[in-house]
Amino acid sequence: MSLIPLIVDSHCHLDFPDFDAERDEVIARARAAGVSRMVTICTRLRNEPQVRAIAESHDGVFYAAGTHPMSAAQEPMATVDQLVAMSAHPKFVGIGETGLDYHYSGDSAAVQQESLRVHIEAARQTGLPLIIHAREADDDMARILTEEHRAGTYSCVMHCFSSSAELGRAMLDLGFYLSMSGIAAFPKSGALRDIFAAAPLDRILLETDSPYLAPPPFRGKRNEPAYTAHTAKVGAEVFGLSLKDFAAATTANFDRLFTKAAA
């Protein structure tokens, strides 16, 4: 019996070596927990064939690809044509993850910003949602995403959102989505839960970012898509909804944003 029907893990990393020994079992446990669909994210374009193969091998598993900002200085610069060509695959549903991370790699800020703009143009051309990683770069993130949106609209999700309320409001004002990860379920994340509570329900997604950021009661252990259900339980409390209604709302949001993966 599924814990929650029709819940979606909008961001996981099934290709990571953490899952090599039991990838099929991890996906099966997700289904048993009510996670009907997953988007596995490629963070280095040279790994796209392996990520694509995982999506091709499993019903309900889709994928996205991009250059993670922490890898932007080490990887060849992505091109718009390269990303557009990848997007032709029927299970390729998003552009990224891309973005800015100044916590670990602020010295590559200029390269990260160039890479981000390439990914934005690919999202614009394909009509697929941009998947954004943001850490300690709120001012540049808001500036670039707003500038680019004025130059030509595109859709976007702020993956694993844990930035400031100001950045959250700026992104919502652009029509973007905020994704709730296990961080929102941590006991000391009350301020983050308040940011989500102030957001429109129709702009919220769920994710694990597994194998990272496992929610309680698994915090500190390897995360996996099945644990989306635990974050959903907290999300339902934040919005004052039943689990069933919150799952239905976030699934509808996913389908509206990730149209190629819509059920």
Cis peptide before 217 (omega within 30 of 0): yes
Q: CA–CA distance from 132 to each of 26, 138, 155, 156, 248 (Å)?
A: 25, 12, 11, 7, 24
Percent helix, percent strand, percent coil in the chain, to nearest 5: 50, 15, 35
| H helix runs in the chain, sequence order | 23-32, 48-57, 80-86, 102-105, 109-126, 138-151, 165-173, 190-197, 228-239, 243-257
- Give pLDDT, residue 5: 64
What are the domain boundaries of the chain? 7-261
- Give pLDDT, residue 263: 60
CB contact at 8 A, 222 and 210: yes
CB contact at 8 A, 245 and 232: no
CB contact at 8 A, 243 and 232: yes
Q: What is the pLDDT of residues 190-236, one digit of tens each?
A: 999 999 999 999 999 999 999 999 999 999 999 999 999 999 999 99
Residues of the chain with pLDDT under 50: 1-3
Q: What is the pLDDT of residues 118-128, one digit of tens each?
A: 999 999 999 99
The DSSP bridge pattern shows strands 35-42 and 177-180 to be: unpaired
Give me the residue label for tokens 């429109």.
Answer: 200
Fold of 7-261: TIM Barrel (3.20.20)
CB contact at 8 A, 189 and 152: no
